[in-house]
Chain A
Amino acid sequence: MSAIAPTSPRTGGTFLRRNAIWWVALLFVLLLPQVARSGTSIAVLNQMCIMVIFSLSYNMLLGQGGMLSFGHAVYFGLGGYFTIHLMKMASGGFFMPLPLVPLAGGLAGLLFGLLFGSFSTNRAGTVFAMISLGIGEMIAASSLIFVKFSGGEEGITADRTDLTSLFGIRFRSEVDVYYLIAAWMVLSAWLMYRFSRTPVGRMANAVRDNPERAEFVGYSQKHVRLLSFMGAGFFAGIAGGLFAVNYEIVTEETVNLVSSGTVLLQSYIGGVGFFAGPIVGAIVYTLLQTLLSNYTEIWAFYVGLIFVATVMYAPTGLTGIIMMHLPIYRAGKLRSLALPYLRIGVPALCCTIGVIGLLELLHFLSVRAVGQSTKRLFWLTLNVEQPFAWIIFSVLAVGGFLVARRVAPSVLAAWEAASLHAFGGRAR
């Protein structure tokens, strides 16, 4: 398991220097609202930070512990429900500052992690995956039935401004909430990173790779898995708690299988083999989900395409692609890749434009009104009844694909040459 954070436990130095990247990260997220000021971008940022914690917690299972879970949203959602109930109770008057309420979600996640983990972590692999699926479906269905606790499909609402104010901050504005969420995000990410460096975190890797050997060394694979599972539940619960704080409502959709699938997908797209992978995945996925649907009605189609393309062409995820270039960048050889990348980039872009154009035209045909024969796309007005646009897009799509496939080997060779150089001529 490599990490983007270039902190090595062996380097000495002060606490401040050892954790430099974390301080930079904290500064960055705190300054972000100064750049992204609009209400929309703050809303997207809030969602993104919550998803970052959720995905990182998921990667404690999948990436670090080798446990493929289909029901991780259970801990996220239950954390959300417990937090929102606490917020409701606290608005009755007792002392409970808002910044602390996500802890309730974390504790709920931890306890349910202990409960469900106690029988599902006996084995990893498919048994674990299928049990998580079963638990996920059960909790999701129950959340619609046990209305007293979950509010059914309407969910439970609360008002965050009713809670005890701390230093006069009542979290009325989105930006205030952003700072709260961002602070929790950096803290949680740091804790999860530290966890991965503890003996237990290291043993989780060992159990993932070879459970028998780990047993021989004297560790119970079940206990190691259970600890990871509870940790993942705790941080998922924190994320759920922040969800409750941000949206002031928790509904069935936070526990359901779609949420569980989302966290799996975004972690994978980001790259489960890296600590930073889920962070990248959560950022990209949130942007895709919230922004893509504003530009096109067939966003789900594109999301599907992106999944398939990622799995087929970038199996180590987006972070994997970045990591592939890190040594080359360090060796100062990145420039030698510019031309080959341009050679494949242009036809790939043509292919993408062609595919998007065809899909959008096809979709337009099925929804248009009578007499409506033109569609605006890429700043152009296209007439769908004449073959011109169709031909152009088809040529772009097919031609781009063929050319890209043709030049792919030479680009790969260029990358290999560059990375060979980066490693000082040693075979990788």
Chain B
Amino acid sequence: MIDRRQFTRLAAALAVGFVAAPSLAADPVRVAFIDPLSGPFAAVGASGLKQFQFIANEINKSGGVLGGRKIEVIGFDNKISPKESLIQLKRVIGDGIQVIVQGNSSGVANALTDAVAKHNEREPSKRVLYLNYSAVDPSLTNEKCNYWHFRFDANADMKMNALTDVINTDKKMKSIYIIGQDYSFGKAVAAAAVRDLGLKRPDIKIAGNELHPIGKVKDFSPYIAKIKASGAQAVITGNWGADMLGLAKAANDAGLEIPFYTYYAAANGITKAIGAGGVDKVRLVGEGATNPPLTAEWRDVLKRFRAKYPDDRDFTQTRIANTLQMLALAINKAKSTEPAKVAAALEGMRYTTYWGDVVTMRASDHQLQMPVRIFVHTNKNIEFDIDHSGYGLLTESTVSAHVASTPTTCKMQRP
């Protein structure tokens, strides 16, 4: 409802012809969030933006950066398309924003990192920094690495390394089925699984190595029938979104009661769909422990998030906290928002996460070195459940940062 004061203000604004009011506080440090905010993948993007804005608010409450400037995260809808992302990147650059964050789809990430590198080389006065919080195609910090790209999520190789360590402990495991989406990330997962299993457990047979079209499979029952027929004792999958949901549903329906080792089998309705059928069978690799939260501070943060968004209350992408906090630290350390200086400050930076892990930004490839955890889907000892379902992710084991680390082939070109 418009109260009288607002009405006067509106009238005044009209009278002076919509002259923009000069901002009184110091200009905020703007961060462009380029991810899907509409269309079928909007759920993941929108909740990511919420989490970024929440963390920005946490930073601002404790004083902001550079002595009082606030961090402002602005959403730019890329409709999960590389082309739209590039258009938005150009807008971001045109608006004078110096930091972009992006995470959904390695395809978009590949396009962005390439475009950012070319732009920074061609127009050094308008450089931008690219913080990747979730696109885990290993090539981004290997053959396609560049100075302006920093990754705050463990890449597919690191995650597979941790998953196969867990598989390795099961001495009765004899055969495994790999299924994934037919694109760069799905292929990276499959390649990593074959390589790591070959090194650690050459006795385990790869019963099947299947790629299915991404986002186009209506019914996963035929794939489940195939897995069943292969006699595999476990499944490894990098599926996410609707493809993970469909796979989980079909497995439940067919009564396929074997362990699933996954990257993204939680949240956005997936945890709820897996439900009782996946207890102690579905495992997932990730970073931030939520059950138990490990530190009191982290528990408070999670609780504050829940209080703020009671409907969509899961802080699902814990790496977002690290991304923004480390950016704030780097800006303070560089005493500037100039991308080249911030990038220099980020290189080699050590940071202690909300949940107590010590992480380091490796200078040689800009891949965050971090402990990786294996979670199990369950309803026991769950403090922070997901999807209002009573089920959540319980930390089962933690792989320390130096064990989780994988070597890089990156030859970093510094400006």
Contact of A40 with B1 in the complex, beta carbons under 8 Å = no
Contact of B183 with A293 in the complex, beta carbons under 8 Å = no
B122: nearest chain-A partner, CB-CB? A172
Contact of B2 with A253 in the complex, beta carbons under 8 Å = no
Contact of A370 with B82 in the complex, beta carbons under 8 Å = no
CB distance from B127 to the nearest CB of A (A): 13
| Cβ contact of B94, chosen from A39, A145, A247, A370, cutoff 8 A | A39
Q: Which B194-225 residues sit within 8 Å CB-CB of chain A?
A: 213-214, 216
Contact of B77 with A297 in the complex, beta carbons under 8 Å = yes
Give Cα distance in the complex from A154 to B83, angstroms: 11
CB distance from B114 to the nearest CB of A (A): 5
Tell me whether A40 and B214 are in contact in the complex, defined as CB-CB below 8 angstroms, given that A145-B182, A383-B1 are known contacts. no
Contact of B38 with A297 in the complex, beta carbons under 8 Å = yes
The verdict on B26 contacting chain A, using a C-beta distance below 8 Å, is no
The verdict on A294 contacting chain B, using a C-beta distance below 8 Å, is yes
Residues of chain B lying within 8 A (CB to CB) of residue A144: 182-183, 213-214
Contact of B114 with A40 in the complex, beta carbons under 8 Å = no
Q: Mark A225-265, 1 if CB is under 8 A from B, else 0.
A: 00000000000000000000001110101100000000000
Q: Which A341-383 residues sit within 8 Å CB-CB of chain B?
A: 367, 369-371, 379-383
Q: Which of A8-16, A99-107, A155-163 contacts B (4 or more CB under 8 A)?
A: A155-163
Tell me whether A298 and B38 are in contact in the complex, defined as CB-CB below 8 angstroms, given that A173-B122, A381-B6, A386-B1 are known contacts. yes
Contact of B106 with A154 in the complex, beta carbons under 8 Å = yes
Tell me whether A40 and B94 are in contact in the complex, defined as CB-CB below 8 angstroms, given that A154-B107, A248-B114, A379-B13 are known contacts. yes
Contact of A297 with B37 in the complex, beta carbons under 8 Å = yes
Q: Mark B39-63, 1 if CB is under 8 A from A, else 0.
A: 1001000100010000000000000
Contact of B38 with A299 in the complex, beta carbons under 8 Å = yes
Give Cα distance in the complex from A388 to B336, angstroms: 46
CB distance from A382 to the nearest CB of B (A): 7
A371: nearest chain-B partner, CB-CB? B308
| Cβ contact of B111, chosen from A155, A298, A389, cutoff 8 A | A155
Give Cα distance in the complex from A199 to B182, angstroms: 48
Q: Which B82-97 residues sit within 8 Å CB-CB of chain A?
A: 82-83, 86-87, 90-91, 93-95
Most A CB within 10 A of own CB, among B50, B95, B118 = B118
| Cβ contact of A39, chosen from B90, B111, B182, B307, cutoff 8 A | B90
Contact of A43 with B87 in the complex, beta carbons under 8 Å = yes
The verdict on A215 contacting chain B, using a C-beta distance below 8 Å, is no
CB distance from A152 to the nearest CB of B (A): 6
User: How many chain B residues have a CB neighbour from A under 8 Å?
Assistant: 46
Give Cα distance in the complex from A353 to B267, angstroms: 37
CB distance from B32 to the nearest CB of A (A): 11
Give Cα distance in the complex from A386 to B3, angstroms: 12
Most B CB within 10 A of own CB, among A145, A155, A369, A381 = A369
Tell me whether A174 and B90 are in contact in the complex, defined as CB-CB below 8 angstroms, given that A145-B182, A153-B183, A389-B1 are known contacts. yes
The verdict on A322 contacting chain B, using a C-beta distance below 8 Å, is no
Q: Which A78-117 residues sit within 8 Å CB-CB of chain B?
A: none
Give Cα distance in the complex from A196 to B292, angstroms: 71
| Cβ contact of B83, chosen from A152, A157, A159, A253, cutoff 8 A | A253
The verdict on A324 contacting chain B, using a C-beta distance below 8 Å, is no
Residues of chain B lying within 8 A (CB to CB) of residue A371: 308
The verdict on B79 contacting chain A, using a C-beta distance below 8 Å, is yes
Tell me whether A380 and B111 are in contact in the complex, defined as CB-CB below 8 angstroms, given that A40-B90, A254-B83, A370-B307 are known contacts. no
The verdict on A141 contacting chain B, using a C-beta distance below 8 Å, is yes
A380: nearest chain-B partner, CB-CB? B2
Q: Mark A263-279, 1 if CB is under 8 A from B, else 0.
A: 00000000000000000
Q: Which A292-339 residues sit within 8 Å CB-CB of chain B?
A: 293-294, 297-300
| Cβ contact of A382, chosen from B2, B87, B90, cutoff 8 A | B2
Residues of chain B lying within 8 A (CB to CB) of residue A173: 122-123
Give Cα distance in the complex from A141 to B215, angstroms: 12
CB distance from A158 to the nearest CB of B (A): 10
Give Cα distance in the complex from A249 to B114, angstroms: 9
The verdict on B81 contacting chain A, using a C-beta distance below 8 Å, is yes
Residues of chain B lying within 8 A (CB to CB) of residue A159: 118
Contact of A155 with B95 in the complex, beta carbons under 8 Å = no
CB distance from B225 to the nearest CB of A (A): 22
The verdict on A290 contacting chain B, using a C-beta distance below 8 Å, is yes
Contact of B38 with A249 in the complex, beta carbons under 8 Å = no
CB distance from A110 to the nearest CB of B (A): 24
Give the interface SS of chain A, mostly helix, strand, loop or mixed.
Answer: helix
The verdict on A188 contacting chain B, using a C-beta distance below 8 Å, is no
Give Cα distance in the complex from A39 to B89, angstroms: 10
Residues of chain A lying within 8 A (CB to CB) of residue B79: 293
Give Cα distance in the complex from A12 to B94, angstroms: 47
CB distance from A176 to the nearest CB of B (A): 10
Q: Mark A173-198, 1 if CB is under 8 A from B, else 0.
A: 11000000000000000000000000
Residues of chain A lying within 8 A (CB to CB) of residue B261: none
B306: nearest chain-A partner, CB-CB? A370
Contact of A153 with B213 in the complex, beta carbons under 8 Å = no
Q: Which B177-195 residues sit within 8 Å CB-CB of chain A?
A: 182-184
The verdict on A47 contacting chain B, using a C-beta distance below 8 Å, is yes
Residues of chain A lying within 8 A (CB to CB) of residue B2: 380-382, 388-389
Q: Which B283-335 residues sit within 8 Å CB-CB of chain A?
A: 307-310
Give Cα distance in the complex from A32 to B308, angstroms: 47
Contact of B1 with A152 in the complex, beta carbons under 8 Å = no
Contact of A251 with B87 in the complex, beta carbons under 8 Å = no
Contact of B214 with A380 in the complex, beta carbons under 8 Å = no
| Cβ contact of A154, chosen from B10, B13, B184, B309, cutoff 8 A | B184
The verdict on A2 contacting chain B, using a C-beta distance below 8 Å, is no
Contact of A253 with B114 in the complex, beta carbons under 8 Å = no
Give Cα distance in the complex from A159 to B114, angstroms: 9
CB distance from B213 to the nearest CB of A (A): 7
The verdict on B110 contacting chain A, using a C-beta distance below 8 Å, is yes
| Cβ contact of B86, chosen from A153, A161, A247, A382, cutoff 8 A | A247
The verdict on B152 contacting chain A, using a C-beta distance below 8 Å, is no
Give Cα distance in the complex from A362 to B59, angstroms: 30
Contact of B6 with A249 in the complex, beta carbons under 8 Å = no
Residues of chain B lying within 8 A (CB to CB) of residue A297: 37-38, 42, 46, 77
The verdict on B115 contacting chain A, using a C-beta distance below 8 Å, is yes
Give Cα distance in the complex from A123 to B111, angstroms: 40
A374: nearest chain-B partner, CB-CB? B1
Tell me whether A251 and B213 are in contact in the complex, defined as CB-CB below 8 angstroms, given that A40-B90, A40-B94, A380-B2 are known contacts. no
The verdict on B147 contacting chain A, using a C-beta distance below 8 Å, is no
A388: nearest chain-B partner, CB-CB? B1
Tell me whether A248 and B115 are in contact in the complex, defined as CB-CB below 8 angstroms, given that A173-B122, A370-B310 are known contacts. yes
Contact of A300 with B39 in the complex, beta carbons under 8 Å = yes
Contact of B184 with A153 in the complex, beta carbons under 8 Å = yes
Give Cα distance in the complex from A159 to B122, angstroms: 11
Given contacts A40-B91, A41-B94, 4 further A-B contacts (CB under 8 A): A47-B87, A247-B83, A249-B111, A251-B107
Q: What are 15 sample pairs from A and B whose C-beta atoms fall under 8 A apart?
A: A39-B94, A40-B91, A152-B182, A153-B107, A153-B183, A154-B111, A173-B122, A247-B86, A248-B118, A249-B114, A290-B87, A297-B46, A298-B38, A369-B309, A380-B10
User: What 7 A-B pairs have minimum CB-CB distances, sorted nearest first?
Assistant: A39-B94, A43-B90, A40-B94, A153-B183, A388-B1, A153-B107, A386-B1
Chain B residues with CB under 8 Å of chain A are 1-2, 6, 10, 13, 18, 37-39, 42, 46, 50, 76-77, 79, 81-83, 86-87, 90-91, 93-95, 105-107, 110-111, 114-115, 118, 122-123, 126, 182-184, 213-214, 216, 307-310
